[in-house]
Structure 1
Amino acid sequence: MFEGVTLHQLQCFEAIVREGSFQAAAEKLSRAQPSVSSSVKNLENQLQLTLLDRSGYRVTLTEAGRSFYQRTRLFLQEAKRLGDHAAQLAMGEESELRVVIGDLCPLPETLRLLRSFFDRCPGTGLHLHFEAISGPWERLFEDEADLIFHHINKSDPRLEFVDLVAVEVVPVVAPNFLAFPISKLMTPEQMRDYVQCVIRDTARHSKPADYFLIEGARSWTVSDQLMKRELILQGMGWGHMPRFMIEADLRAGSLIAITGHYFKGGRREVVAARRRDTPHGPVANRLWEFIAEQTAKFAPAVS
C-alpha cells in the first residue's frame, strides 16, 4: 500500500499541516498551489486514507491524518539527517572556513586557539570576521559563517555550542568625568546628560539591538571595544566594558567602576557556536572537536 509514495508528497502533506493552508504550504515550498494539492490528493489515494478534512474554512487533520502526520514528521527529520550526512561525505576537505569573532570575545585567547588549529591544516584557509551585538548571529543564520565565538540564546534548537568563558561587563568612567560623587545609588537620571559610549550593532538586515542604553541619553557609537575603551579613558564618555579588557585600568585607577543599584553591569557567556541543522565538513568537525578539547585552557587565561 505504501509503494509509490514519494518524499515530495510527504513534504507537501507536512507543510500543509504546519503552515495551516494549501496556499501557505505552496509558498513555503516554492511550488504552485495546484501542484501541492494534487500531490497530497495522490498521497491519500495511494494510501487509501483521508488525511485532511477539507469541509471547513481551514483544512484540518482527520483522526487518521493526525496519526500519520506524527510518523511523517519523524520520517522527514530522519530523511534530512540522512541527506546532511551524504552532503558531509561528499564535501571532502574544505578549502576555507568562515569564522566570526564577537565583540565580547577575548581576542588574544581566541586567535591563539585558531592559530593552533590552522597551523595543522595548511590546506584550509581561515576567513575571519569581527562582528558586534547581533552581527555574529546574523552571519550564522544567513549561512555566512561556519562558526561564531559569541554569546547566544542557548535554548535555540538550531544551535549547538561549547562553553568558553563567562565575561563580566562593568559600567566605568574616567576619574573626574562626573560632576558629582560616585555612589552605589547613582541613578539613570543623573547620567542622562553625560555621553554614553556604545558599540554599533553590525547586523545588516535585522533591527539593531542595544544593551544598557539609558533612554534619552546622548550617545556616541563606535565600531569596537578597543575604540570604546579609549574614548572612556579620554573622558569623552562612559560605558559598559568587558572586565578582562579594563582590569589593568581599574587597578591603576585610570578607570572607575560605577556598579551599583541601578547600574548592575552583567555577565555574558561566550561560547563557540554553530548550526546543528546544517552539514559540516571534516575540517569543520575537527575544529569543533579541537575547541571542545581546549576549553580548559581557554577560560583561565581571562578569568
Structure 2
Amino acid sequence: MAEFTLHDLQCFDAVLRAGGFQGAATLLHRSHPAVFAAVAKLERQVDLVLLDRSGYRVRPTEAGSSFHRRARQLLRELEGLRVHAAQLSMGQESEIHVVVGDICPRPQVLGMLGRFFAGSPGTRLNLHFEAVGGPWERLFDDQADLILHWIDKGDARVEWIDLCKVPFIPVVAPGFLPEGIEQPITLNQMQALTQCVMRDTAHHSPQRDYFMIEGAPQCLVADQGMKKEIILQGLGWGHLPRFLIEEELRDGRLNSIAGSHMPGRISELVVARRSDRPHGPIANALWEHILREASALRRVLEPRNAKA
C-alpha cells in the first residue's frame, strides 16, 4: 500500500462534509480538479472504493464510512496539535477581553476575576457587559477571550466550565395585578399588563426572545438591575434571576407569580471560550483559575437557588 498524505485525507473529509467535490473545493480554497485528483489518488493508495458517485450527491461506501471515522480522529488530533503549537508560540497577552452576561451574579463573578488579575498586573482586563445574545456574538466575532453566560452546549466550537444554575422567576410588586387575577395566572391574563424585557445587545445575530408575551406592552431595559427597579416600582412585571431578588421575596416587596402557565426557567451559567482558537498563557491561566474557583462559587450560590 502506498503512503497517503494529510492533504489527501483533508480532501476526502471535505467531500463528505460538503456533499460533493465542488463544495469541498470551496471549503478548502482549492480547485475542483485538485480535490477530485486527491481523493482518487487516496482510493488507489488504500486500494478501496471510498465514495459512491452514482447519485446526485456523493456518499461514502461502507468501507468509506469506516475509513472516514478513523481519518476524522487523526484530523482532529492534527488540529489540536496546531492549536497547541500556536499557544506555545504566544507571549503573555497585554490584554484580555471578558464578557459578563446578564444572568451573572456580578459581585461573585467580578470578585473571582479581581483575584486573578491582582496577580497579573502586566495584563489589562477589558470587561464588557452584554445581554441575551450579545455575549455569544462577541465570542464568535473574536471580540472576547471568554464569556460568562449561558451557551448552546451542542456547539462543537466552544468549551465550557459549569459555574451554577440560575433560576428565573416571574415576579410582580404587591398591588400590581388587577383584582380578580388569581393563580394559576395565564399568559392571556398578563397580556394587557406592561412586561419588562431585557434588550438583546446582539447587533447582527438573530434576536432572541425569552418569556415575551406577544402583543403585550413592553418596557425595554439594558440590565437586570434596572429591570428589578422598574418591577419594584410597579411599572411592569417580568422574570428576574432568583439570586437578585432573595431579600425582596422574603420581605414581600416582590411576589412570585410562577405557576403551571408561567413556570419560569433555570439557566446554566458557564464560562465559555472558543475550542477552535489558540489561547495565550494568561488566558489559559485565567481558565485554570476559574476552574479552581468554580466549586466555591457554586457553593455560595446554589443553596439559595435550590429553593426555586
Please give the TM-score of this superposition, normalised by the length of structure 1.
0.91
SS at match of 1:127: strand
Counterpart of 2:80 in structure 1 is: 81
CA contact (8 A) 2:181 2:189 kept: no
Distance 1:94 1:203 in 2: 27
**Displacement after TM superposition at 1:153 (Å):** 2.9
Indicate whether 1:175 and 2:170 are aligned: no
Distance 2:180 2:245 in 1: 21
Counterpart of 1:279 in structure 2 is: 278
Distance 2:6 2:148 in 1: 37
Q: Which residue identity is paired with 1:10?
A: L
Identity of aligned residues (%): 55
Counterpart of 1:92 in structure 2 is: 91
SS at match of 2:240: strand
Indicate whether 1:198 and 2:197 are aligned: yes
CA contact (8 A) 1:135 1:202 kept: yes
Deviations 1:118-149 (A, max 9, x none): 01011112121111112212222333222111
Counterpart of 1:227 in structure 2 is: 226
Counterpart of 1:247 in structure 2 is: 246
Distance 2:47 2:295 in 1: 58
Counterpart of 1:211 in structure 2 is: 210
CA contact (8 A) 1:105 1:149 kept: yes
**Displacement after TM superposition at 1:258 (Å):** 1.4
Counterpart of 1:186 in structure 2 is: 185
Deviations 1:202-250 (A, max 9, x none): 2222211111112221222111111111211222211111122122222
> CA 1:174 to 1:84, structure 2 compared with 1: closer, same or farther past 3 Å?
same
Q: Which residue identity is paired with 1:228?
A: K
Q: Which residue identity is paired with 1:180?
A: E
Distance 1:247 1:107 in 2: 15
CA contact (8 A) 1:146 1:274 kept: yes
Indicate whether 1:71 and 2:70 are aligned: yes
Deviations 1:66-121 (A, max 9, x none): 44323322221111111111111111212222211110100111111101000101
Please report the RMSD computed on the Cα atoms of aligned residues, expressed in angstroms.
2.1
Distance 2:84 2:119 in 1: 25
> CA 1:61 to 1:294, structure 2 compared with 1: closer, same or farther past 3 Å?
closer
Distance 2:126 2:298 in 1: 24
Q: Which residue identity is paired with 1:295?
A: A
Q: Which moved more, 1:116-125 or 1:257-266?
A: 257-266
Q: Which residue identity is paired with 2:131?
A: A
Q: Which residue identity is paired with 2:9?
A: L
CA contact (8 A) 1:182 1:258 kept: no
**Displacement after TM superposition at 1:255 (Å):** 2.0
Distance 1:225 1:117 in 2: 26
Counterpart of 2:151 in structure 1 is: 152
Q: Unpaired segments of 5 or more residues in structure 2? A: none
CA contact (8 A) 1:167 1:244 kept: yes
Indicate whether 1:166 and 2:156 are aligned: no
**Displacement after TM superposition at 1:189 (Å):** 1.3
**Displacement after TM superposition at 1:192 (Å):** 0.6
Q: Which residue identity is paired with 2:105?
A: P
Distance 2:82 2:96 in 1: 21
Counterpart of 2:118 in structure 1 is: 119
Deviations 1:12-34 (A, max 9, x none): 11100121111111222233323
**Displacement after TM superposition at 1:63 (Å):** 5.0
Q: Which residue identity is paired with 2:206?
A: K
Q: Unpaired segments of 5 or more residues in structure 1? A: none
> CA 1:154 to 1:43, structure 2 compared with 1: closer, same or farther past 3 Å?
closer
Counterpart of 1:35 in structure 2 is: 34
CA contact (8 A) 1:101 1:131 kept: yes
Counterpart of 1:54 in structure 2 is: 53
Counterpart of 2:5 in structure 1 is: 6
CA contact (8 A) 1:88 1:280 kept: yes
Distance 1:90 1:151 in 2: 31
SS at match of 1:211: coil
Distance 2:150 2:206 in 1: 18
Distance 1:189 1:63 in 2: 55
CA contact (8 A) 1:183 1:260 kept: no
Distance 2:120 2:257 in 1: 46
Q: Which residue identity is paired with 1:38?
A: A
